[in-house]
Amino acid sequence: MSQYRAPLRDMKFQMEEVLDFTSHYASFPQGREATPDIVEAILQSAAQFAEDVLAPIDGMGDEIGCKWEDGEVTTPPGFKEAYNEYIANGWTSLSMPVELGGQGLPASLGGFCMEIHATANHAWTMYPGLSMGGIQTIAAHASEELKARFLPRLIEGQWSATMCLTEAHCGSDLGLLRSKALPQDDGSYKISGSKIFISSGEHDLTKNIVHIVLARLPDAPPGIKGISLFIVPKFNVTDSGEVAERNNVHCGSIEHKMGIHGNATCVINFDEAKGYLISPPHKGMSCMFTFINESRMGVAQQALAQIEASHQSALEYARDRVQFRGTVRKDPEAAADPIIVHPDVRRMLFTQKAFGEGGRALSYFLAIQTDRERYSESESEREMAEALLSLMTPIAKGFLSEVCMEATSYGIQVFGGHGYIREWRQEQHFRDARITSIYEGTTGIQGLDLLGRKILSSRGKALEPFVKLVLGFCKQHPENPYAGTLQTQMQKWVELTTELGMKAMKNPDEVNAAAYDYLMFSGYTVLAWTWAQSALVASAALEKKPSEAEADFYQAKLDTARFYFERILPRTLALEVSIRAGVETLPEFSAPL
């Protein structure tokens, strides 16, 4: 069975050679402490913790899972000890502002560490991962008094946070939610209702759990415009930030899921629980998007993590497992060859590599935009970063979560029958990956957000910054072998968008009918840009005659870029056809059940 190793070499390729994070960090005050030697030390420490602590308990977490009894949840063996080590080493405060008790390092650096940890143990990493979104939401929207009361313990990791959105009758239609919030004389609220699918909603890792809850005030208008946002702690908190008596918040059950068994997915019941309003009245959804967008990027990272974990295991197995004889024999005297000599096996491995490394490139590009949005002293730079994040977040979440299912399925296929049984843990990667295209908004919802809410509602202006960026790359590097293809691909994207806008003016259902295919077309196109960049850098590096190991690394980049452009990007040709087919190909079902 393979042992997870953090992909530090590929991470450094993107950070140092493609995107120049050294210059990026030097460009804003919060990044200047992130010198190359500091970054190197932090990533090495993150890798050691992931490899030595988190990876060994991942399989146990899957097999044993969380246990619920009398409203209390016990996490799998080793989870609590790992969490205690995590907070003792300061991982929760790494990217938090100094004035709030954090270490003040860039958000992107914390994200790179989270990627390493999630690849080692997706389920465990969700506990501290969700707290990051809760911290950002409280910091962005709560009063100074509530920030002082809740943020220090959250940043220390002594407490954790959740997002409580949906209810049993709602699904993703949050306008239907019924949870109520009644104002009290002391300025607090009594929150009542039942929330479902609450990841990390109850556990034994922290002394308190701070729920970020959507509910309705008594005078709330119906629908999405009548929702407000509240902090509701598991244990009440004194004015000085100390844990007090138990609040009326209880875990009614945990879900028995397909995957991520080590993370408790809970039903949380609020029975006149004490809470605090953190959004303007009836403006809770806009505030909650701070948490939602943070989580969407986290899910994209989880998808990337599952691809990486599955690929590492499948690649090692393909090099060791012998079956059949290759056309060109590796060892003519052997009865069979390692299966990696067979082209179809390499097709699956290259597909994993193309999605994993291309997805990492996209993730790191967006990490730069997150830093710029939060820290840049230039208003125009902040606005550009915000525009790119707004456009690319649904693509990163939706596209990577879809292709991670394909990639982890290939991981099983490389193993053959051994991939289908638990011993090798390939099937766990597929099961754990499956949720990524569902939570934080299904792929269809991401497509609607991208096409309808972002691009068409702006009359295409939301797409312009990225189109200019990519076309500028093509113009600047005409020698790049993929510049012409990439330029044509961007033109097709713009043409399809224009066509859909015209059709949607006649029938709004055209947006819903095309949303999924449009998002996938967009994702394949965006990854083409990342691979064109990587090929450019790898080609230049090879000209400098590096060592044999480094030459192999760069040649693999060129091989994967070619594979992507010649065998993956052509999928967009079929997507063009299906996008143009329109809503008339989706009639109502007339056949009886």
- Catalytic residue IDs: 440
Distance CA 576, CA 573 (A): 5
| Best CA proximity match to 111, nearest among 125, 100, 97 | 125
Tokens of residue 244, six digits: 């007090």
Tokens encoding 266: 């809970």
Chain Cα centroid distance, residue 466: 20
Q: Which residues pair with 228 in a beta bridge?
A: 215
The partner residues of 231 in beta bridges, in order of sequence, read 212, 276
Task: Report the residue count for the chain.
Answer: 593
Residue 452 CA to chain centroid, in angstroms? Answer: 22
Contact at 8 Å (CB) between 141 and 150? Answer: no
Buried b / exposed e over 455-467, threshold 16 CB at 10 Å, is bbeeeeebbebbb
Query: 224: exposed, middle or buried (C-beta count within 10 Å: 0-12, 13-18, 19+)?
Result: middle
Pairing verdict, β 265-277 and 249-254: antiparallel
What's the DSSP call for residue 588? P
**Short-list 213, 233, 199, CA closest to 75:** 199
β-bridge partners, 338? 322
DSSP state of 543: T
Residue 561 phi/psi, 5-degree rounding, is -60, -45
Compute how many other C-beta atoms are within 10 angstroms of the C-beta atom of residue 101.
Answer: 15
Q: Give the span between the Cα atoms of 41 and 245, in whole angstroms.
A: 41
Distance CA 10, CA 116 (A): 12
Q: Could you count the other beta carbons within 10 Å of the beta carbon of residue 108?
A: 27
Q: Which helix (H) or strand (E) holds 269?
A: strand 265-277
- Of 329, 336, 317, the closest CA to residue 413 belongs to 317
Nearest of 271, 161, 278 to residue 214 by alpha carbon: 278
Query: Which backbone phi and psi does 562 adopt, to 5 degrees?
Result: -60, -45
